[in-house]
Amino acid sequence: MANKKKNKKPSLKDWQQLATHELRSKPLADLPPKNPDGLAVKPLYTKADLKGLKHNNTLPGHAPFVRGPRATMYTGRPWTIRQYAGFSTAKASNAFYKKNLAAGQQGLSVAFDLPTHRGYDSDHPRVVGDVGAAGVAIDSVEDMKALFAGIPLDKVSVSMTMNGAVLPIMAGFIVAAEESGVRADQLNGTLQNDILKEFMVRNTYIYPPAPSMRITADIITYTAKYMPGFNPISISGYHMQEAGATAVQELAFTLADGLEYVRTAIQSGLEVDDFAPRLSFFFGIGMDFFTQIAKLRAARLLWSQLMEEHFSPKNPRSKMLRTHTQTSGVSLTATDPYNNIIRTTIEAMAGVLGGTQSLHTNSFDEALALPSAFSAQLARNTQIILQEETGICDVIDPLGGSYYIESLTDQLASQARTLILEVEALGGMTKAVEHGMPKQRIEKAAALRQAQIDRGEQTIVGVNKYVRDEFTLDKSDELDLLHIDNDAVREDQIKRLRLLKKQRNDRACQSALHALKRGAEQNHNLLELSIAASRARATVGEITSALEQVFSRYKAVNRSISGVYGAVYEGDEQFEAIKAELASFTQSEGRRPSMLVVKLGQDGHDRGARVIASAYGDMGFDVELAPLFQTPQEAAQLAIEKKVHVIGISTLTAGHKTLVPQLLNELKEQKANDMLVICGGVIPPKDHQQLYDLGVAAIYGPGTELPKSAQEILEMIRRQAVGGNA
C-alpha cells in the first residue's frame, strides 16, 4: 500500500502546487506572456486538452487533412523550393532563374514590376519611377518569351504573382509556351489571381470588384477545360498578414475569399469537382512559431469542413487545401539586418512543420533594398539545409498529437469560423469588401501591433530591445545591396515596345483588341480573347485599356481609423508629454501640425502609410492620407492645397530614386520648397545622403519608434516656423 502511494502519478493539482511554490509571489495565471495575436495560451498543456477535439487522431492524406494533404508528405517528396524573384528585365530574370534551377531550386515564382501589375506599359507617364524597380517588366508576349527562354515549361512549374493584369499576363504565358512548342495542357504551375485580397490590403487592382470577379471566373473556366495541371488561383492570406492581420484574421478572410471564388465559378456554370481540386492557397509565416504551425493545420481543417458544408463535393480532393507559404517580410528589420537570417530560418521551420507544399524564404536585406544575388542564394540555401540536414523530412507531421499544437489548432479554427460567419452574414466576401470591413479590421490590428512594438510589449531584437550602441552588427552600409538602374530599364523596354509595334500586323492587333472589348460588353470568355490579342502582339497596356473602356479603373475610398494606437499608450508619461507638446504648438500657431502621408507611383503596399496616419493622428497631428498611386506632381499639388507642414513619403520599391527628386523639384517650381519632406520605408543607407542633399529633411527605416519620430518631426516644424533649416 505504501509503495502504491509512493509511486502515485503526479496530478495537475500537484503540478500547480509545485509551480506556485517556484513562482513565489507571482500568480500562476501570469506565466504565459501576452500572445501577439490575442490567443489564449496556457503555461501547460496536458492530455485533457485533447478531449473533445474531433480532428485529433486523423491521418495524413485523408479528410479533414489536418496532418497534410498527401499521405506520405515529405517522406515521399519534400516541399517545393519556390523562390519568388524578378529582376528588372526579362533577360536578367531568365539568367537568374536558370542559375537557381541548376543550384537546386525546384520551381519558378515570378515577381512582376508594379507597372505590369497595374496594367501599364513601360512607356506610360504614370510609371516613370517604377519600371523594373520591384520585379520584372513585362509589356508583351515577346518579353514573356525572353523571360522563359531555354526553360522547359512542360517540366518546370511556374507560379505567377499576378492579380490586376492577370488576363494579359496569363495570355502571354500561354502564347509564349505555345510558340516554344509546349501546349497549354502541358503547363504546370499556379496563377495567384486572387483579386479580393487586393481590395483589402495589396491594392494592385485595376477594375472594380464585380468585373474583377468575372475575370477570375473566366480564368478558372478556361483552365478547367484546357489546362488540367494548372492551378487557376492561389487564394492569398500572405498579404493580409504583411498588412498587419492577426493569424485568425488571415485564416478567416482567406478562406472566406475561397468560398466566394467557389461560388463564382459554380455560378459561371462549372461543377465544384471540375475546378476545386486545382484551387491552391498562400499563407504568410511570421515569428509566432507555434501559432504559425497551427494556422496551416487549422486552414486545412476548416477548408475541408467548409467545402463539405457548403458544396458537398464528390471528389475528396475538392476538400483538400494545398498551400504555398512565404516567410514574413514585415518581420525583417533594417537595424541589425543579419538577425533577419535567423528570423527567416525560424519562420521557414514553422512553414514546413505546418505542412506547406512549397516555400519561399525571404532574403535578409529586404528591409534595406531588393534582394541581392548573395542574399537570395543564402535564402534558398536555408531551405536546402532544412531539407537535407535536419531530418524534418523523415517523419510525417512530427508535431501531430502535441497537446499544445492540437489545442491551438482547434482554437484558431474555432475563432476563424466565427469571423467567417460574420463575413457570410454580410453576404459573402465581395459584399464585405464593399463595406470595407476586412480592411478596417486588419488596419486596426496593424496599428495595435505597432503600438505594442513601440512600447516594448512585443520584443524585436535589435530594434526595441538589445539595441547595440557599440560593437554593432548593423553593417548595413557595407552590405552589397542590389541596385536597379530604373532609367536604363525603362529606356530598354520602350525600345522593345516600339520595335514590337513596328513589326506586328497592326490591323490584326486592333481587330483582336476590338473583339476583346466586345467580349467584355457581352459574356465571352475573356482569357480566350486575351490569348488571341496576345498572339497578335497586343501589349499588356493595350489589353488592359480595352477592358478598362468597358469596366472602368477602380479608385478606392480612403477610410482611416483612430484611437487604436493611442489606446495602447493610455497613461504613458512620454506619450502624454508628446501630446502636450503638440497641443502647445496648436495653441501658439493657431492650428495643429499637419502632414500629408503619400505613396508615390504604383506601389499599393500601404500598411506603413496607414499605421503612420493612424498613430500620428492619435498623437495630435492633423494627418491627410493621400489617394494611392500619386504622381509627384499630384502629391505636390495636394500638399499645397492642404497647406501641410510636412509631406511624409512611404516607399518600399526603390521608387525613391526617381520619384522623390521629382516631388522636390515640383515643390521648388511651385515655390513651396519650404515644406518639409520626409521619407520612410525601404531605402538603402547608401541612398540617404543623396536624398538629404536634395532637400529631404529626415529618413526613417523599418522599425522606427513612432513617438520618437513624431517628436523629431515636431522639432523640425518648429524650426521651419521660425525660419531655421529643418
Catalytic residues: 84, 238-239, 599, 603, 605
> Cα(444)–Cα(411) distance, rounded to whole angstroms?
22
Instruction: Write the CB contacts of 189 (distance below 8 Å, at least 6 apart in sequence).
Output: 107, 108, 157, 158, 159, 160, 230, 231
Dihedral (Cα; 370, 351, 456, 341), 10-degree rounding: -40
Q: Where are the alpha helices (DSSP H) in 184-318?
A: 195-197, 209-226, 238-242, 247-267, 272-275, 289-311
Strand order of the β-sheet with 84-85 is 84-85, 108-110, 158-160, 189-191, 230-231
CA distances from 459 to 33, 447, 452, 565, 710 (A): 11, 16, 9, 17, 21
Cell of 495: 525600345
> Coil, strand or helix: which one is 179?
helix
CA distances from 68 to 60, 404, 524 (A): 5, 18, 38
| Residue 496 phi, psi dihedral angles, 5° rounding | -65, -40
Cell of 635: 502629391
Q: How many CB atoms lie within 10 A of CB 692?
A: 13
Closest CA to 630 of 665, 663, 652: 663
Instruction: Write the CB contacts of 425 (distance below 8 Å, at least 6 apart in sequence).
Output: none
Q: Is the distance from CB of 53 to CB of 410 less than 8 angstroms?
A: yes
Contacts 24+ apart (CB under 8 A), 311-315: 311/262, 311/266, 311/272, 311/276, 313/272, 313/273, 313/276, 314/273, 315/273, 315/276, 315/277
Point out which residues pair with 465 in neighbouring strands.
Answer: 461
